[in-house]
A and B are shown apart, each in its own frame.
Chain A
């Protein structure tokens, strides 16, 4: 990161405005995500979901997506919790809140592409965690959903600079973080970290946001960061990208993140990567539908 960038990032992140219902729903929800699963009360989730009728409706529609395990939408948030469990409904609610948290302005990247990528990454991380026998697959989902939150910060707090970075990435077909670093002197990892800290996200989620492009820099949460790094790559290679072609060859088992995970999970050796890829492909259409349901028609796209 370029010297002096941090102060500018902190200053601009302080000024980021969210939509009016965000502090009432998103912030308490993020706090609840930090709490151990058995300390979260059903009533608290129902209260948060009911605060905003639009969010409640979206939450029920999203819960009816096959991606979350139900064949049709439940009638109530309580019904959703009974069918899906408290933790999963929490993450669905988070997905819906996040989609409405930011005012829609001119976005250098297409918002639909952004949400498809974020949701796709969340699902890829959850799926990978399931394959690895992880105990908290919803944590992986949340980490995948939030990993690129810094891109939203860039849209809101650095719109002109970020526009140049996106143009460079599209023209040269290079990864977005490389283009950001060359044009802005910092990346969405740093700006996302600043927002994550402002929102008092759990330390492991902040590590994911800050280091998902450089797993070796992660500390306590390195395995979670590695899962998100791989989920992110798979999505970018399978049509859940940022809307432009990245000239990129990915050899996942040779990736440092893969090696980090292998130390913790020997199950990874037996993972059929091609099948995993095909299974991700199957979710793409449902992801597109869910993004339309939750995030609505694309608005504010440039």
Chain B
């Protein structure tokens, strides 16, 4: 999982003037990648554009807009620009509104639907899990639920990433203050063990819930074997894919989800027109894509 640089950089001087063309560039980025840069974070896009303009020998945002608009190399360039405005850093409990939606709306919905099933199972996927912050967050949330609402349930989190080194680091599960900045003291005490000064390691009982695998989301043959998911988190990963690959991955997500399942993307990401079978649904502070249940009139 990769987060936007906006979360770790300090805000620019609000008086700093942004060239209006940057807003037009924001629109192009949104149309191509589904990433929307909020007004208050436009300075990050501005900085990113300035950095990209230099190697291209482009002098003004207008010229750069022309490049992004009409140049034959526009798609790779937009991905380069996205690389400039995002960085490979994240933390546990990164998106509280998504976790609230999971705990307060989705899990009660699943629990109500599955009361009559003999084996109650929940399968969650963290696609593009980087160094494990997201799947361990989900594991902690679900462990709390296993003591109440999901008592007796069989819960499994499949976490995947393309990068072997990330997977190895994720399996070790050691985090410092920055990655743990959103983690409460109670959660730290309950689900982590101190190892060296300032570092905590995820406890074995949390690790037990998570299975890590190397997976390329563009590998069709392997994606076909990820069936039966109830919830997929794929936050800020698809932005690095070109249109066709993104579309393929999203279609795999749709077919791999159970009916009634949910796909969560990053907080400023959208599927745009990649898949019209998903329903866009709002929860307080969060949006998700829902694969309607079988009884839905749309299917």
Contacts and interface: CB of A to CB of B under 8 A. Distances in A.
Given A247-B105, A274-B272, A275-B30, A234 B282 contact: yes
Interface stretch (A50-58, A163-171, A277-285): A277-285
B38 interface: yes
Contacts of B285: 237-239
Interface string B78-116: 000000000000000000000010001110110000000
A249 B281 contact: yes
Contact of A237 (B39, B271, B284): B284
B290 A275 contact: no
Interface stretch (A217-225, A251-259, A287-295): A251-259
Nearest to A286: B39
Contact of B105 (A249, A272, A282): A249
A104 interface: no
Given A275-B30, A278-B268, A245 B284 contact: yes
Contacts of A285: 40
Interface residues of A, number: 27
Given A173-B104, A281-B38, A237 B280 contact: no
B100 A245 contact: yes
Interface centre among B109, B280, B282 (most CB of A within 10 A): B282
B245 to A, nearest CB: 20
A274 B279 CA distance: 12
Interface in B147-191: none
Given A246-B284, A249-B109, A275-B30, A282 B279 contact: no
Contacts of B268: 278
A24 B104 CA distance: 47
A206 B281 CA distance: 30
A275 B36 contact: yes
A8 interface: no
Contacts of A301: none
Contacts of A277: 282, 287
Contact of B108 (A238, A247, A252): A247
Interface in B4-55: 30, 34, 36, 38-40
Contacts of A252: 280, 282
A233 B282 CA distance: 9
Given A173-B104, A247-B105, A285-B40, A274 B283 contact: no
Contacts of A247: 104-105, 108
A193 interface: no
B299 to A, nearest CB: 13
A77 to B, nearest CB: 29
A273 interface: yes
Contact of A251 (B104, B106, B109, B281): B281
B270 interface: yes
Contacts of B30: 275
Contacts of A273: 280
Interface centre among A233, A234, A245, A274 (most CB of B within 10 A): A274
Contacts of B109: 249
Contacts of B271: 274
A249 B287 contact: no
A124 to B, nearest CB: 13
A248 interface: yes
Contacts of A173: 104
B127 to A, nearest CB: 19
A254 B283 CA distance: 15
A207 interface: no
A273 B108 CA distance: 26
A127 interface: no
A241 interface: yes
B103 to A, nearest CB: 10
Contact of A282 (B38, B281, B290): B38
Nearest to A244: B284
Contacts of B100: 245
Given A173-B104, A245-B100, A275-B270, A236 B284 contact: yes
B106 to A, nearest CB: 8
A250 interface: yes
B290 A251 contact: yes
Contacts of B108: 247
Contact of A249 (B34, B39, B283): B283
25 contacts: A173-B104, A234-B282, A236-B284, A237-B282, A238-B282, A238-B285, A239-B285, A241-B284, A245-B100, A245-B284, A247-B105, A248-B284, A249-B106, A249-B290, A250-B281, A250-B282, A251-B282, A254-B279, A274-B34, A274-B36, A274-B280, A275-B36, A278-B268, A278-B270, A281-B38
Interface of B: 30, 34, 36, 38-40, 100, 104-106, 108-109, 268, 270-272, 279-285, 287, 290
Given A237-B282, A251-B279, 13 more contacts: A173-B104, A245-B100, A247-B105, A250-B282, A250-B283, A251-B280, A252-B280, A274-B36, A274-B270, A275-B36, A278-B36, A281-B38, A285-B40
Nearest 10 CB-CB pairs, A to B?
A274-B270, A237-B282, A250-B282, A278-B36, A282-B39, A251-B281, A247-B104, A251-B279, A249-B281, A247-B105
